[in-house]
Amino acid sequence: MNNLLEVRNLKKYFPIKGGFFRHTVGQLKAVDDVSFSIPRGHTFGLVGESGCGKSTLGRAILRLHEPTGGEIQLDGTDISRLSTRELVAHRREMQIIFQDPYASLSPRRTVMQTLLEPLEIHHIGDAASRKQKVLELLDIVGMRPNVLHRYPHEFSGGQRQRIGIARALTLDPKFIVADEAVSALDVSVQSQVLNLIARLQRELGISFLFISHDLAVVQHISHEIGVMYLGKLVEVASSTDLYREPRHPYTKALLSAIPVPDPDSKTQRMILQGDVPSPLNPPSGCPFRTRCPEAMDVCAQSMPQLKILDAGNNGLPHQVACHLY
């Protein structure tokens, strides 16, 4: 399968300063040795509890956070090794849709100014062609030309997120990180934005990293899903395989928490004990062992590595990092 993005052993550590001279006294391992790939035109869903490192991973891939280590191959180019000047040209190929549609748009800029800015920065076209591009973008995301001179406070949350999506599409990117792109929206608006993203992927062939804590949303839109816990991927599988037969105990607990729209359903919820450990002082061995109902002695002694259990669905292997397998 032809991969657009390949992430290998990516790490992002934040230094912890202390003492009178503010020396580094520790490292917060937000993303720790993560590897995965995204084929062209596919969506890779990333799920996990708040604070597990999902958003940091997405921003590190785009180099909004500078990675501590690892390799990021985008369409054959290792962008983790590019200088700041060299990276500018590749910014056109990768974009982000932010979580908060209220904070991600400048209140001082109209829709026209917001969508023209990327084109002006990258010196694309003349004034007439830029305006035509803006009108085409509004049409793509389902908005009318009469909104061009309006400001963000004049729109609803769903409309603002559509403007954010239009801005992400301005430079015709190959890869987009959608960081909790629908979590701040009402359920009815969520479905509209999700359908818009799915349509854009079909028509434009864009690859997405879709970050969310809502497993029902991720199942709807993703080809492949990665489950993240305390900075590490613990399970990766196709959307079909992950929901039909989860293997990792943490994945099973997450899926058991999905509400079932049936008052007579007898679904047994799996309740995890304890709290998520601090990434400043993670447990030895498997990071999930302190909450895992199936923990063994070996779990405290060594870190399980992602291993392929079977070929999976649609050529996407089912990978799990657990000593049970």
Q: Quick one: how far is CA 189 from the chain centroid?
A: 20
For residues 24 and 253, what is the distance between their CA atoms, to the nearest angstrom?
A: 36
Distances (CA, A) of 114 to 36, 111, 142: 33, 5, 17
Q: pTM for the complete prediction?
A: 0.91
**Segments making up each domain of the chain, as ranges:** 247-259+266-325
Judge whether 60 and 69 are in contact, CB under 8 Å.
no
Residue 308 CA to residue 295 CA, distance in Å, equals: 20
* Triad 47, 49, 53: Cα angle to 5°: 75
Question: What integer pLDDT is reported at residue 147 of this predicted model?
Answer: 94
CA R_g for the chain? 21
CA 54 to chain centre: 6
- Cβ-based neighbour number of residue 49 at 10 Å: 15
Half-sphere exposure of 65 (CA within 13 A, CB side): 20
Pairing mode of beta strands 3-18, 69-74: antiparallel
The pLDDT, as a whole number, for residue 266 is 65
pLDDT in tens, 51-81: 889 999 999 999 999 999 999 999 999 999 9
Q: Which two tokens mark 216?
A: 């029902």
- What is the C-alpha to C-alpha distance for residues 91 and 290, in angstroms, rounded to an integer? 41
Residues 6+ apart with CB under 8 A from 314: 223, 238, 240
Residues of the chain with pLDDT under 50: none
**Backbone angle region of 76, left / alpha / beta, with phi > 0 → left and psi within -120 to 50 → alpha:** left
